[in-house]
Amino acid sequence: MGWFKRLKEGIQTSTVNKRETPEGVWYNCKRCKETSRVKTVKDNFYKCPKCNYHIRIGSHDYFSLLFDVEEYTELFTDIMPKDALNFTDLKSYKERLEITQKQVGLTDAMAVAEGTIENRPIIIAAMDFAFIGGSMGSVVGEKIARAIDRCIEKRIPLLIISKSGGARMMEAAFSLMQMAKTAVKLSQLAKAGIPYFSLLTDPTTGGVTASYAMLGDINMAEPESLIGFAGPRVIKETIKKDLPEGFQTSEFLLEHGFLDFVVDRKDLRDRLADLLFLFNQKSILTNKVLSTKTKL
Amino acid sequence: MKQVAQKVNAMVFLEFEEPLKNLYNQLDKIKDVASAGDVDVSIMERELMQKIKDKRKEIYSSLTGWQKVQVSRHPERPYTLYYIEQMCNKFIELHGDRYFADDKAIVGGIADLDGETVMIIGHQKGVNIKMRQYRNFGMANPEGYRKALRLMKTAERFGFPIVTLIDTPGAFPGLEAEERGQAEAIARNLIEMAQLKVPIVCVVIGEGASGGAIGIGLGDRVYMLENTWYSVISPESCSSILWRSWDYKEQAAEALKLTADDMYEFGLIDGIIKEPVGGAHSAPEVMARALRRHLKKVLTELTQFSAEQLVQQRIEKYVNMGEFNVGTVR
Ligand SMILES: [Zn+2]
């Protein structure tokens, strides 16, 4: 297989995000309730042409939107979830995994791919909300860890696209430890002087926000995404008050100093290309800076 | 503080301790009889004390996950400041994150632990109704995590080992906590703790709930006291989300495999520190002595490693955490 695998448009995307990506002819906006042609929506970066609502899309949709000529190689596809705890609630975790895998055509909530944006290499790790609410379990942690190893080895920047309800309860403490695991790996990436861009999308909450999503050298978010640590329902129950308008949105986080900028999906590729260009330019201080860097 | 010295109606019994309560009631009655007349009840009293001891041992030798959760939340359980007071010769509490405020739910400072200066940091719950409010029930705001990080950085600069004591029902889910970046504060601690050049020893002394716990819980060695729990979510919240009802907390506690034994078996912690029979609250000073001995031993072990070795091993330890299959899609 060549370095890049050619993916025909639509093949991955049509099976991947059954629940999220619009299919058929007409799209009914979740927010403004207006109807648009699916073709128009797709050409509009999966945003509602009427109200600019950013539809929740999957990992491969982002790969297609971002990589040059929609070419990329998916990595670490052999990492599969495991029911280490023999977890059962109303359904067994094993069963839940099988059903979800069949329904959404993914193996877990994260896909990693390597490719280029404006001819500059980048590794993108993107989450899939369709897979058990984009929850973070051992697979997500391991894929991020391996992506970081590859970024360090090849000196390639990393982009993580977060879209998650938080940790995966069915993996209990293992999922909690993924917060630590991804953080220790990011500390290595930082030490190696390789840029990490974090894109937060709707929604990003819980243990994902409280680990890698908030740790970018650049933190950015799609407009009007729900971003927070605790979920709005829990906060409301705790403080026994209604939450203010716009609370825990991207714009709220920007205002409070936790994001570098909010980026419309149509501008995302260009913005990333600019970041890659700027972070990649030879610094006039190169020798000085590199000499203080610890060799990994 | 010792329960035996108390009258039964002043003691707090957990629901599964009902048989103990009955025995203590009998004991009270005998004492009343004794004080009313000059009957010698010392033999009966001794027998009853032995019965209580046996019963307590029996009950505590086979606690379920949910029962351990209850023990970990016992209102008389010792908290961080108690341990510090018992274990350390000198302790100077340090306050504030230098940006916003001093969080009362996380305390910390420099202390002398058997001839060695350590930075000791922990969640702090209140010891009575008024103090529980003051300590926000051990639920920290972002400034708590930032204070903890500030103290850890100070420790790193001066080469002091770091000890953290974990006991929280979770990071505080409040409006201001979100405004000030609860998630960022926890995430920042994790990435910074990964690279600290001094030994970090963490001990779960009560509740180890989710991000609020791990926010000061990334270390070279992590231990749990015998009757504590550590999980991604409390059994109650897990029940409400996965069972869509608050009534399945026992099942949730079992399913989450949150006890010290489970965590040790999974290789997610490095060891379990035994509690006195009847739980840490039944003999707090015994517990504190055991914890001090343990910390001393572990800190001595860790001195054999260079800063680089510590960081390298710490990273490897967490990278190895995770259970997944490697193969192709079925
Ligand atoms: Zn719309």
Window 239-258 of B: residues touching A by CB (8 A cutoff) are 241-244, 248, 251-252, 255-258
- Pair A121, A156: CB distance under 8 Å: yes
**Which among B178, B258, B315 has CB closest to A229?**
B178
Task: Measure A199 CA to nearest chain B CA, in Å.
Answer: 14
Cβ distance A180 to B318 less than 8 Å, yes or no, reads yes
End-to-end CA distance of chain A: 31
> Which of the listed CATH numbers 3.90.226.10, 3.40.50.2300, 3.40.120.10, 3.40.190.10 matches domain B69-319?
3.90.226.10
| Chain B residues with CB-CB distance to A173 below 8 A | 230-232, 256-258, 262-263, 266, 268
Q: Which residues contact B32 (CB under 8 A, 6 or more apart)?
A: none
Predicted local confidence at residue B34, as pLDDT: 80
Q: What is the pLDDT of residues A21-44, one digit of tens each?
A: 777 889 999 999 999 999 999 999
Domain A57-280 homologous superfamily, CATH: 2-enoyl-CoA Hydratase; Chain A, domain 1 (3.90.226.10)
Identify residue A221 by its one-letter amino acid code: A
Contacts of B183 in chain A (CB under 8 A): 209-210, 213-214, 228-229
Residue reference for tokens 């991804």: A182
pLDDT confidence of residue A283: 67
- Residues A250-291: pLDDT tens digits? 999 999 999 999 999 999 999 999 999 999 887 677 555 554
Residue B159, exposed/middle/buried by CB under 10 A (0-12, 13-18, 19+)?
Answer: exposed
A179:B263 CB<8 A: no
Chain B contacts of A234, Cβ < 8 Å? 173
Interior angle at CA B172, CA B97 and CA B80, nearest 5: 65
Which ranges in chain B are annotated with CATH 3.90.226.10? 69-319
Q: What is the pLDDT of residues A97-152, one digit of tens each?
A: 999 999 999 999 999 999 999 999 999 999 999 999 999 999 999 999 999 999 99
Q: How far is the CA of B128 from the centre of ligand 1 (A)?
A: 52
Among A84, A188, A210, the residue with its CB nearest the CB of B183 is A210
DSSP state of B197: S
Query: Is the pLDDT reported for residue A10 higher than 60?
Result: no
Cβ of B323 and A82 within 8 Å?
yes
State the burial class of residue A285 (Cβ atoms within 10 Å of its Cβ: 0-12, 13-18, 19+). exposed
CA distance B324 to chain A (A): 5
Please, which residues have CB within 8 angstroms of residue B85's CB and are 6 or more apart in sequence?
Answer: B91
pLDDT exceeds cutoff 70 at A226 = yes
Tokens of A147: 């992506």
Q: How many CB pairs under 8 A join A and B?
A: 204
Compute the distance from residue A215 Cα to the ligand 1 centre, in Å. 31
Q: Which residues have a Cβ under 8 Å from the Cβ of A91 and sit 6 or more positions away?
A: none
Q: How far is CA B36 from CA B32, B43, B46, in A?
A: 6, 17, 19
Task: Pick the closest to residue A138 from A58, A196, A206, A84 (CA basis).
Answer: A84
Determine which helix (DSSP H) or strand (DSSP E) holds B116, and give its type and residue range: strand B116-123
Compute, in angstroms, the gap from residue B181 CA to the centroid of ligand 1: 30
B101: distance to nearest CA of chain A, Å?
17
Residues of A in contact with B256 (CB under 8 A): 85, 169, 172-173
Whether B306 has its CB under 8 Å from any CB of chain A: the answer is: no
The whole-number average pLDDT for the span A190-212 is 98
Nearest to B278 by CA among B7, B45, B104, B58: B58
Rounded to whole angstroms, the Cα distance separating B307 from B311 reads 6
Output the pLDDT for position B42. 85
- Written as six digits, the tokens of B138 are 């051990």
Q: Which residues of B touch A188 (CB under 8 A)?
A: 315
DSSP H helix total and E strand total for chain B: 14, 9
State which amino acid sits at residue A152.
I
What string of pLDDT tens digits covers the 330 residues of chain B? 444 445 677 788 999 999 999 999 999 888 888 877 777 888 888 999 999 999 999 999 999 999 999 999 999 999 999 999 999 999 999 999 999 999 999 999 999 999 999 999 999 999 999 999 999 999 999 999 999 999 999 999 999 999 999 999 999 999 999 999 999 999 999 999 999 999 999 999 999 999 999 999 999 999 999 999 999 999 999 999 999 999 999 999 999 999 999 999 999 999 999 999 999 999 999 999 999 999 999 999 999 999 999 999 999 999 999 999 998 654
- Which of B184, B190, B215 lies closest to A258 in CB terms? B184
- Give the residue on A whose Cα is nearest the Cα of B218: A180
Maximum alpha-carbon separation in chain B: 82
Pick from A74, A77, A89 the residue to mutate for testing the B interface (most B CBs within 10 Å): A89
B115 — contact with chain A (CB < 8 Å)? no
- CB distance A79–B183 less than 8 Å? no
Rounded CA-CA distance B84/A46 in Å is 56
At B7 the pLDDT is 66
Residue of A nearest to B180 (CA): A256
Q: Does B176 touch chain A (CB under 8 A)?
A: no
In the reported structure, the alpha carbon of residue B89 is separated from the centroid of ligand 1 by a whole-number distance in angstroms of 65
B72-95: burial string, b at 16+ Cβ within 10 Å, e else: bbbeebbbbbbbbeebbeebeebe
List CB contacts (< 8 A) between A211 and chain B.
186-187, 190
| Chain A positions in Cβ-Cβ contact with residue B187 (cut-off 8 Å) | 179, 183, 209-215
